[in-house]
Structures are given as structure tokens and as C-alpha cells.
Amino acid sequence: MKLAQLNIALAKYPLDAPEIKEFVDNLDLVNDIAEKSEGFVWRLKDESGDATSIQLFDDPNIIVNMSVWESTDALKNFMFRTGHRDFMRRKSEWFHRLAEDTYVLWWVEDEYIPTPEDALERLHHLREHGDTPFAFTFKTNFTEADLLSGSAS
């Protein structure tokens, strides 16, 4: 099985505003780092090569990122041990802090590419029920075995 993830962010500014230009200008770089990272499988993107124009919410300032990884460790390595971490440290410059969960993880079959609708279902489930094998966060980090047995690790 593979690990799917969705994360969302509510931009403080329209994506063409100068205040968020540095973030937008580095999307290609960060996406390239992801795609070259060990354990990367797939990411959601539009014709421009990123997902910023893909609207899953009524608010056009909510941007999404969705990807699939070989493992939790592979995703964590990308997030915290590459140049991506430098942008994560600065997210408060560009994005509002949200009270609800802004990311969700779940396991998918090896060849399955999740849809944005799958991801929204998982995020809503997490927000409604908390961490479960169906939808979870790094705090709980359910394993593939937990999915099959229905228990936490």
C-alpha cells in the first residue's frame, strides 16, 4: 500500500499579489524536489504543473496539495529534510492559521491514484471523527496493518 496525503492552506493574499510572490515563484522548485525525492509516487497537478488552480473549496484562496508516497517516512523526509522545510517554516507569512485540520493521510492500494473527491472525503472524516485508520495525521500515524486490523499503532 501507499500513503496518500492532502493538505490545504488559506492564502492571506490572492496568488498574484506581491506579498505571496516568493511562495508562488518557488512552487516549481518545491514540486521538483518532491518529484525527485525517494519514495515519491504521484502528485496532483494541472496543465501548469501545480495544483493552485484546482478548486476544491468555495473560497478561491484555499489552495490544495495532494500526493502519494511509498511510506510515511518518505513523505516526512521530503517535508522536513529537503528545501521544502524552509518554506514550511515561513508558511505564516503567506497563509492563515486554521482551527480545523489542514492535512489528512490515508492508505491507498499500490496502483490507485486518489481523486480530489477521495481526499475531501478523508479530510471531512478526519475533522468529524478525529484520527482513524480511514483518515489520520502524523500524530497517530496508522500503519497499513492498522488499516487491515482496524487498530492503532
Amino acid at 41: V
Q: What is the pLDDT of residues 43-75, one digit of tens each?
A: 999 888 888 889 999 999 999 999 999 999 999
Nearest to 108 by CA among 121, 95, 96: 121
Specify the pLDDT at position 153. 39
Q: Where are the domains of the chain?
A: 2-149
Fold category of 2-149 in CATH = Alpha-Beta Plaits (3.30.70)
Beta bridge partners of 136: 105
pTM: 0.91
pLDDT by residue (tens digit) across 98-141?
A: 999 999 999 999 999 999 999 999 999 999 999 999 999 999 87
